[in-house]
């Protein structure tokens, strides 16, 4: 039943309900695909077939009795190897993490998925401690793009994006501290949402502090809304988590975009050079929003690139990660990570507080901006996927990954919900992502706008060739 790998979570659940196929069928198909794609793209750190099939069998029994355990009972899902998943080590892409131990605790988002009957296929790849916008690490090597294996899948949730794009489960969990869900979603042609900070609880706390979000990576916005209804549940281990969800993200999808005030910023006021093919694909999708009744205005948020302040926060977090490591362990780190750790260790508390000031001002400006506009639309990235195995595009002149991600990391600083939606391909057949941003706590607007694009055929790309 290889066609099962092409179905969304919503479609799988409908099939279970009708008795057309079972969670065991879907899990076997997803596991087969995961094994098939692994040599070419390296999406997984570990595939746990026995545990997945055992959970699928229990789910199939519940469906036969007409008693599904929850909203995602029997749906295959993969988990980025940053988030705790009990029963096996969480190595975080690093040789410095000891795999021995009890590993008997789930991260909050994983725990909610478990409660709702999801089937865990395995752990997906990440750069070391999720530090950069591409996915390669000393532990697991290079993760490659499903559309062209010479290119990067993006990062840091690159394994999750590649797995979803290639049918190794319709759902995946990723983390996003500066674009790490949205970047690989854009490069791999899938949907990825960075929710409002705190909407999806996180434990253990990230060393990168309140920049880091947990979010769904899926085939479309409907699957992401369903997943958000599950993983948004409160968890006492996260002191910064938001209160219980009021209503349902799935129920909010159907509102459409008629009358929605959309600000379209093609280049953040000329600050970003965008590849023509990317700009054209995003513009076509924005025109579709206007055709659906949205009030579209070309308008730029009042943003001066906050990259230096972001670097203080990000590099300082990296230094905190490495603080516990001995000299020999530090030598085993990704050289780029070792470099930013050294730089981060030189920042003072006053440097950090000055960066917080920049962040707060950025948040104030975006708060005022959203008094006039419901959503902001930009390209997710100014380019499509570049060569695998490097941090920055060859010949770009960029020093760090933040040089080519100017549309993503500002909205980690402001903690706003932001999603990447696939809206076409470039001349090489590589996916292009459109970013939708809303005010804090308006994740529903991001999902609703994205869903409208999917409903009208303006979102989604053809599956990768050859898989």
- Provide mean pLDDT across the span 191-201: 98
Q: Of these residues, 94, 156, 232, 265, which one is catalytic?
A: 156
Mean pLDDT of 286-312: 97
In a domain, 461, yes or no: no
Residue 392 pLDDT more than 70? yes
Nearest to 97 by CA among 129, 121, 122: 129
The conformational region for residue 118 under phi > 0 = left, psi -120 to 50 = alpha, else beta, is beta
- Please report, for the domain that includes residue 246, its CATH number: 3.90.1300.10
β-strands 171-176, 148-152 pairing: unpaired
Give me 194's structure tokens. 């960075």
Provide φ and ψ at 282, rounded to 5°.
Answer: -65, -40
For residue 462, tell me if it sits in a domain.
Answer: no
* 160 is an active site residue: no
Residue 180 a catalytic site member = yes
Predicted pLDDT of residue 466:
76
Residue 200 has pLDDT above 70, yes or no: yes
Q: 195-231 b/e with 16+ CB inside 10 Å = b?
A: bbbbbbbbbeebbbbbbbbbbbbbbbbbbbbbbbbbb
- Give tens-digit pLDDT for 242-255: 999 889 999 999 99
Helix (H, G, I), strand (E, B) or coil at 58: helix
Give domain status of residue 467, yes or no.
no
Helix (H, G, I), strand (E, B) or coil at 124: strand
pLDDT in tens, 370-388: 999 999 999 999 999 999 9
Q: What is the pLDDT of residues 204-231, one digit of tens each?
A: 999 999 999 999 999 999 999 999 999 9
Average pLDDT rounded to a whole number, residues 132-158 = 98
Please tell me the distance from the alpha carbon of residue 112 to that of residue 171, in angstroms, as a whole number.
Answer: 14
| DSSP per-residue codes, 186-223 | HHHT-EEEEPSTTSS--SSPPTTGGG-EEEEEESSHHH
The model's pTM is 0.98
**pLDDT level of residue 139 (50, 70, 90 thresholds):** very high
Average pLDDT over residues 156-178: 98
Q: Catalytic residue among 160, 180, 232, 420, which?
A: 180
pLDDT band at residue 2 under the 50/70/90 scheme: low
Residue 80 annotated to the active site: yes
Annotated active-site residue in 78, 80, 160, 420: 80
Provide mean pLDDT across the span 382-405. Answer: 98
Dist CA 69 CA 260 (whole Å):
37
Compute the Cα dihedral for 309, 315, 316, 317 and give only its sign: positive
Question: Which residue spans within 359-430 are E strands per DSSP?
Answer: 375-379, 418-425
For the chain, what is the mean pLDDT?
97
> Is residue 1 predicted with pLDDT exceeding 80?
no
386 inside domain: yes
Distance in angstroms (rounded) separating the CA atoms of residues 392 and 155:
12
- Whether 131 shows a pLDDT value over 90: the answer reads yes
In-domain check, residue 60 = yes
Domain that holds residue 273: 2-455
In a domain, 33, yes or no: yes
Domain annotation covers residue 466: no
Residue 467: pLDDT above 80? no
Residue 276 has pLDDT above 70, yes or no: yes
Could you give the number of structural domains in the chain?
Answer: 1
Measured distance CA(294)–CA(366) in Å, rounded: 20
- Residue 211 belongs to some domain of the structure: yes
């Amino acid at each position: 039943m290889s066609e099962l790998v092409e179905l969304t979570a919503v479609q799988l659940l409908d099939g279970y309900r009708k008795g057309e196929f079972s969670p065991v069928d879907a899990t076997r198909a997803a596991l087969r695909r995961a094994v098939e794609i692994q040599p070419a793209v390296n999406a997984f750190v570990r595939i746990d077939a026995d545990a997945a099939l055992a959970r699928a069998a229990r789910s199939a029994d519940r469906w036969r009795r007409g008693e599904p355990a929850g909203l995602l009972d029997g749906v295959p899902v993969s988990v980025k190897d940053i988030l705790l998943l009990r029963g096996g080590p969480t190595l975080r892409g690093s040789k410095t993490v000891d795999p021995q131990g009890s590993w008997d605790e789930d991260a909050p988002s994983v725990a909610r998925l478990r409660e709702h009957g999801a089937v865990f296929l395995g752990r997906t790849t990440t750069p070391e401690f999720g530090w950069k916008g591409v996915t390669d690490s000393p532990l697991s090597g290079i993760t490659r793009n499903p559309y062209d294996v010479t290119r990067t899948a993006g990062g840091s949730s690159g394994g999750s994006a590649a797995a979803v794009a290639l049918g190794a489960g319709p759902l995946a969990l990723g983390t996003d501290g500066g674009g790490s869900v949205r970047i690989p979603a854009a490069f791999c042609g899938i949907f990825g949402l960075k929710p409002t900070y705190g909407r999806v609880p996180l434990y253990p706390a990230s060393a990168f502090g309140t920049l880091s979000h947990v979010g769904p990576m899926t085939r479309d916005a409907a699957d992401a809304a369903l997943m958000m209804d599950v993983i948004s549940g409160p968890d006492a281990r996260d002191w910064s988590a938001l209160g219980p969800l009021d209503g349902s993200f799935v129920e909010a999808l159907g509102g459409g975009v008629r009358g929605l005030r959309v600000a379209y910023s093609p280049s953040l006021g000329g600050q970003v050079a965008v590849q023509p093919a990317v700009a054209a694909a995003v513009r076509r999708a924005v025109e579709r929003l206007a055709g659906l009744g949205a009030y579209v205005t070309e308008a730029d948020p009042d943003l001066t690139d906050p990259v230096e302040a972001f670097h203080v926060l990000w590099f300082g977090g990296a230094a905190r990660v490495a603080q516990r490591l001995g000299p020999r362990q530090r030598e085993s780190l990704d050289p780029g990570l070792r470099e930013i750790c050294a730089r981060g260790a030189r920042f003072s508390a006053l440097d950090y507080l000055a960066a917080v000031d920049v962040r707060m001002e950025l948040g104030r400006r975006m708060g005022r901006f959203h008094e006039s506009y419901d959503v902001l639309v930009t390209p997710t990235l100014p380019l499509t996927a570049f060569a695998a195995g490097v941090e920055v595009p060859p010949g770009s002149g960029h020093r760090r990954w933040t040089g080519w991600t100017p549309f993503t990391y500002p909205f980690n600083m402001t903690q706003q919900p932001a999603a990447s939606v696939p809206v076409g391909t470039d001349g090489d057949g590589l996916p292009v992502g459109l970013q939708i941003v809303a005010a804090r706590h308006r994740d529903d607007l991001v999902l609703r706008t994205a869903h409208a694009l999917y409903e009208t055929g303006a979102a989604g790309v053809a599956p990768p060739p050859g898989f």
